[in-house]
Structure 1
Amino acid sequence: MTDPWYIDNVHILLRLLLSMLLGGLVGLERERSNHAAGLRTHILVCMGSTLIIMLSIYGFSEFVHEINIRIDPARLASAVITGVGFLGAGTILFTGKSITGLTTAASIWVVAAVGLAVGAGFYFASVAATFLILLTLVVFNKLEQRYIRSSKLHLISVCAISAPGLLESISDLLEEEEITVKKAVVNERSNVPYGELQPPSTTVEIALNALSKRAFDPLELASRIRRIDGVSTVSID
């Protein structure tokens, strides 16, 4: 292709297929990790970015030599980067204790950039970027979890019948597991049995925001908390 404003159908198809492959590689990693945006999402974002940048460069080539008309191939590319930001924001979730989905949002954004690079014919950069993206998502994730993983925040919810020493028993158990409570919310409710001549009972709902410096088995911890006298339900997120 000697004319920078012309592209034939073969190269259009090759660029779309390459963007499908590169976007699919990143999406496959996200799909295997069970994230919100997976294989198809990344393929569509990457392929769409490729199509848009090719449209921006070659779609208006007939007007290049017209008087008083200026062609800016980067204009649609900047719109793609901005628009993909909104798509990535949809994968970010705030659960009340932590924010998740930032890495997936970033992967969608960078896959859009890969698609733009493919569409512009920047093949080496797009392939190299895809390799580095996968290196970051797979290898660095394992290194982070094994060596530099910071304390993780958990939400522990306990429902129990009010009894002396209940909070102390839960606190001692969490201390044994090296879990630090950063915030505690305790709500008491009085329940009067309907149609029964029994004294009202007081239930306690305990919500704990706790930091754990090491991984633990949530089922085992929930089972140990459940064995405390008066505890009826336990939830660990």
Structure 2
Amino acid sequence: MMFDPFLKLGISAILGMIIGLERELKRKPVGLKTCLVISISSCLLTIVSIESAYVFPLKDHITMDPLRLAAQIVSGVGFLGAGVILRRGNDSITGLTTAAIIWGAAGIGVAVGAGFYWESAFGVALLIVSVELIPFLINFFGPKQLREKEVMLQITVADEKNIAKVIEHLKRQEINIKTMRIKDVEENEHLLKLRAVIDQKRSTAELYYAIRSIEDIVHVDIESG
């Protein structure tokens, strides 16, 4: 059909837009425009790859792989995905979901370009369910470990003899300490660098007030994802 490529590009744009809106609503670096470009471009390259295998046959009866060009999209998009993966100063990694969304948008574009419309639509639905609904359900019904979030704490304690007491108070506040580093900063002041986990529903402000109420704490710095 003459208009079949245009139909594929249109469907790819709609599905890419759905994926991009999900990222846009979460204020992620890869949003609507990026997902649209990836999905449409992947679809276009897949169409070109398939059509060129039949429109421009090689001489001497050498056959072309219809998806040869499209196969390179998967590896090519990997470089784009790597650009949104960040390593913070506390050694935590962010951006993995966004990188996976980029790869998924490219996959949707390839699938639509190859003519798998219903499979592509179902794939987008599963993507949205996977990143939106399933984490929401896990927060209520999942194991305790999946209902916790990691925080990085920097606490300045007034006197070294108070360090053990402060740590004990933190445990009473249901702050589960995973790693701890102690550093002398000034005379009679000591810095505790802690990696801890708390309940997912607990706000950063609530955590700050709980820690700041502990005696002998001079400064508090909290980083929460």
Length-normalised TM-score, structure 2:
0.86
Asked if 1:212 is matched to 2:198, the reply is yes
Partner of 2:112: 118
Q: CA deviation at 1:78?
A: 1.5
Are the equivalent residues in 2 in contact too, given 1:184–1:209 (CA < 8 A)?
A: yes
Q: CA 1:161/1:18 → structure 2, altered by over 3 Å: closer, same or farther?
A: same
Q: Could you say what secondary structure the match of 1:67 adopts?
A: helix
Q: Could you say what secondary structure the match of 2:189 adopts?
A: strand
Q: Select 1:235's aligned residue among 216, 221, 224.
A: 221
Residue correspondence of structure 1 range 41-56 to structure 2 within 5 A = 41-56=34-49
State the Cα RMSD in Å.
2.1
Q: CA deviation at 1:34?
A: 2.2
Are the equivalent residues in 1 in contact too, given 2:53–2:65 (CA < 8 A)?
A: no
Identity of aligned residues (%): 33
Any idea what the Cα deviations from partners look like across 1:152-194, whole Å, max 9, x if unmatched? 22211113433531x234223321221221211111133xxxx
Q: CA 1:230/1:174 → structure 2, altered by over 3 Å: closer, same or farther?
A: closer
In structure 2, what residue type is equivalent to 1:171? Answer: I
Determine the C-alpha separation between the residues in 2 that align with 1:219 and 1:168: 24
Q: Could you say what secondary structure the match of 2:33 adopts?
A: helix
Q: CA deviation at 1:68?
A: 4.2
Residue correspondence of structure 1 range 10-159 to structure 2 within 5 A = 10-59=3-52, 61-64=54-57, 66-95=59-88, 96=90, 98-148=92-142, 149-159=146-156
Structure showing greater Rg:
1
Which consecutive unaligned segments of at least 5 residues does structure 1 have? 2-7, 191-200
Alignment size in residue pairs: 219
Which consecutive unaligned segments of at least 5 residues does structure 2 have? none
Q: CA deviation at 1:41?
A: 1.4
Are the equivalent residues in 2 in contact too, given 1:81–1:112 (CA < 8 A)?
A: yes
Partner of 2:176: 180
Q: Could you say what secondary structure the match of 1:164 adopts?
A: helix
Determine the C-alpha separation between the residues in 2 that align with 1:90 and 1:214: 28
Runs of 4+ in 1 over 4 A off after TM superposition: none
In structure 1, what residue type is equivalent to 2:44? Answer: L
Are the equivalent residues in 1 in contact too, given 2:181–2:192 (CA < 8 A)?
A: yes
In structure 2, what residue type is equivalent to 1:181? Answer: I
Q: CA deviation at 1:151?
A: 3.4
Determine the C-alpha separation between the residues in 2 that align with 1:170 and 1:48: 56
Determine the C-alpha separation between the residues in 2 that align with 1:31 and 1:102: 16
Q: CA deviation at 1:52?
A: 0.7
Q: Could you say what secondary structure the match of 1:26 adopts?
A: helix
Length-normalised TM-score, structure 1:
0.82
Are the equivalent residues in 2 in contact too, given 1:151–1:214 (CA < 8 A)?
A: yes
Determine the C-alpha separation between the residues in 2 that align with 1:217 and 1:173: 18
